[in-house]
Amino acid sequence: MSEYSVLIGGKAGEGINTAGLSIAGLFSRLGYRIYMYFDYPSLIRGGHNFAIIRASEKAVRAHRTPVDVLLAFDQKSIDNHRDRIHDGTTIIYDASVVVRGEGYGLPLDEIVEEEGAPPITKNSAMLGALSRVAGIEPVIYEDVLHASVPAKYLDANLRVARRGYDAAGRVFVAEALDAPTLPVLTGNEATGLGLVYGGLESYVAYPMTPTSNLLHFLARRAEDLSIKVLHPENEISVILMALGLAYAGEKAAVGTSGGGFCLMTEGLSLAGMSEIPVTIVMGQRPGPSTGMPTYTAQSDLHFVLNAGQGEFPRFVVAPGDLEETYTWSAAALMLSWKYQVPSIILTDKTLAEGAFSFDPAEITLPPDREPVFWDGNGGYQRYAKTEDGVSPLALPGREGVVVKVSSYAHDEAGFTTETVEGVRDLQEKMLAKGESLERELMTYPAVKTYGPHDAGTTIICWGSEKGACIEAAESFGAQVVQPVVLAPFPVRLWKEAMIGAGKVICVENNSTGQLARLLRQQGFDPGRLILKYDGRPFAVDELEARLEEVIA
């Protein structure tokens, strides 16, 4: 199988993420499927940033430890990654900085000075040198630069890239594949596009890693996508502004991470009691408190399942790849409005900021779901009792209609009540909505399986660990089962997927086994646990080694 891994490393502020995406574009234009992992500390400048770009003839959604080419802007980029270097690794380094380099040393300071180019164009020199090492013709990297560099800087980047190309030598040939070039998107971008497909009209957020780039992406594209993007002063304002927009009839979503979601929980409860739909994109990262703000974790599952005071239904979904992210982001917004409940899209740094080939042919679009509006007959009651628990909507401004909402326990008209019958009826109405949502989700792919069903070994995973688990499972002939919907938990679908599961192993990116705990609460055995909680996702070979210990 044709496959290559490239690592590019340097300091924050040197454009490592952008350079990584350029490398992804280079291989993508040859028909390869791409995954890029980006690792960086929470420093504006300095520290050590690196990206691993994996290019393969088959779809890949996780990285491996060894790399074929290492592009080093500084000494740390070599010294910190000795475990990734093997006999076949080619190193290309900045000879202006690196003092202990082997391979192709590029005098980057000299190159940019002679070409009269800004320092950031050193990335283009590395791109050119990589192209030469990989046997990729200049026309390919030139196409990448034309697509990514502003016109006024293009000539300088092309000149510097050619200097890098000429300074290296051919080591191998990355043959063009007979496959279409797919766009390379981040999980945040797929989330935003999915929300727009689901009917998004306003996006409200305060920047917080790892969902900040979702705010930036939608803000840049707001006019093209015909949406409004709003940036209030804090997360409390974010959730309350979104609820105000939804009350007025505008489909709104918000984005945050764990710390911001903490501030939103009272607003989440308000959405539950007042039955105002809102969609929350919750990007996980390690805590408690600020934790490691630029790294990854799957440690907020029970937080989002139980956040808010009182009992009310909510929809929680954890997509595992770009296609699921697009599809379920759209579904989350539509189902939130149909059932007038808060919906939460649970992602993490690995998925949100990782870059992947996006294949539209792999998408099964969710069915269109619209809210039920009041037909105008009789007097309007905002919280009218119905068989499915969902009250027809009317929007403020409709002639002759008063649309009441309340944070208090209320009757059908929206007036406060504390009577035994009134409070009981209200709670049963909210529970009925959750049951109706649960029934509808039986028609969705809320639980997914991969590999042979009679394998005798089943690996359970959720969210972004899906890619590493599926690939590692192939080495053992194991089945993978992935719950995509986590609330209301799809009990029946899970039972069907786990028939004949055999030995069960649960893989998670946290220290306590949060999915395992949820499965036990639902009456299921999660089996043996394989946990990783250092802020990094599993590399495929790393997970294979851990599975070998458990399966053997």
Q: What is the pLDDT of residue 62?
A: 98
With cut-offs at 50, 70 and 90, classify the pLDDT of residue 21. Answer: very high
Is pLDDT at 69 greater than 60 in this prediction? yes
Is pLDDT at 45 greater than 90 in this prediction? no
Q: What is the pLDDT of residue 400?
A: 86
Cα distances (Å, whole numbers) of residue 95 to 18, 71, 321: 21, 11, 38
With cut-offs at 50, 70 and 90, classify the pLDDT of residue 1. Answer: low
Tokens of 461: 């995973």
User: What mean pLDDT comes out for the span 316-322?
Assistant: 98
Q: What is the pLDDT of residue 552?
A: 76
Kindly report, residue by residue over 163-213, the tens digit of the pLDDT.
999 999 999 999 999 999 999 999 999 999 999 999 999 999 999 999 999
Q: What gap in Å lies between CA 473 and CA 460, rounded to an integer?
A: 10
Domains of the chain: 3-167 (3.40.920.10), 186-359 (3.40.50.970), 372-444 (no CATH), 447-551 (3.40.50.920)
Of 329, 316, 281, the residue nearest 518 (C-alpha): 316
User: What mean pLDDT comes out for the span 337-361?
Assistant: 97
Is pLDDT at 264 greater than 70 in this prediction? yes
Its sign, for the CA torsion 221, 223, 226, 227, is positive
Residue pair 202/250 in contact by the 8 Å Cβ criterion: yes
* Furthest CA-CA distance within the chain: 83
With cut-offs at 50, 70 and 90, classify the pLDDT of residue 467. Answer: very high
Q: What is the pLDDT of residue 256?
A: 98
Is pLDDT at 317 greater than 60 in this prediction? yes
Question: In the predicted model, what is the mean pLDDT of the chain?
Answer: 96
User: What mean pLDDT comes out for the span 42-64?
Assistant: 94
Q: What gap in Å lies between CA 500 and CA 481, rounded to an integer?
A: 12
User: What mean pLDDT comes out for the span 490-509?
Assistant: 97
Residue located via tokens 């340097």? 10
Is pLDDT at 381 greater than 60 in this prediction? yes
Q: Could you count the other beta carbons within 10 Å of the beta carbon of residue 170?
A: 11
